[in-house]
């Protein structure tokens, strides 16, 4: 599970066995987890985050989208 980015208590990563899925990122904080598609940025799955938190996470992903996509394409080719 390559970690791409850490911001505060959030860990941004992807699983190394998901190369056939569209670019996406997993984000965890404690027991809460969310998976976001990167093109376009939208929620795929979420568990444990409140709606207001999801809005903030979406903003972080949009802010760092280029870096996250670069890491995805660098790892999966």
pLDDT in tens, 19-42: 788 999 999 999 999 999 999 999
Q: Could you give the number of structural domains in the chain?
A: 1
Whether pLDDT at 75 is above 80: yes
Nearest residue to 23 via CA among 53, 50, 46, 44: 44
* CA gap 61, 42 in Å, rounded: 10
Confidence (pTM): 0.93
Distance (Å, whole) CA 38 – CA 27: 12
What does the pLDDT average to over 71-77? 90
Res. 6: pLDDT tops 90: yes
The answer to whether 1 and 15 have CB atoms below 8 angstroms apart is yes
Q: Is 61 exposed, middle or buried (0-12, 13-18, 19+ CB in 10 A)?
A: buried
Q: Which domain holds residue 43?
A: 3-76
């Amino acid at each position: 599970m390559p970690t791409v980015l850490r911001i505060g208590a959030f860990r941004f990563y992807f699983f190394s066995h998901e190369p056939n899925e569209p670019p996406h990122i997993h984000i965890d904080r404690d027991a809460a987890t969310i998976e976001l598609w990167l093109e376009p940025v939208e929620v795929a799955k979420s568990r444990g985050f409140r709606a207001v938190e999801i809005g903030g996470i979406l903003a972080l992903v949009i802010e760092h989208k280029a870096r996250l996509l670069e890491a995805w394409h660098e790892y999966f080719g």
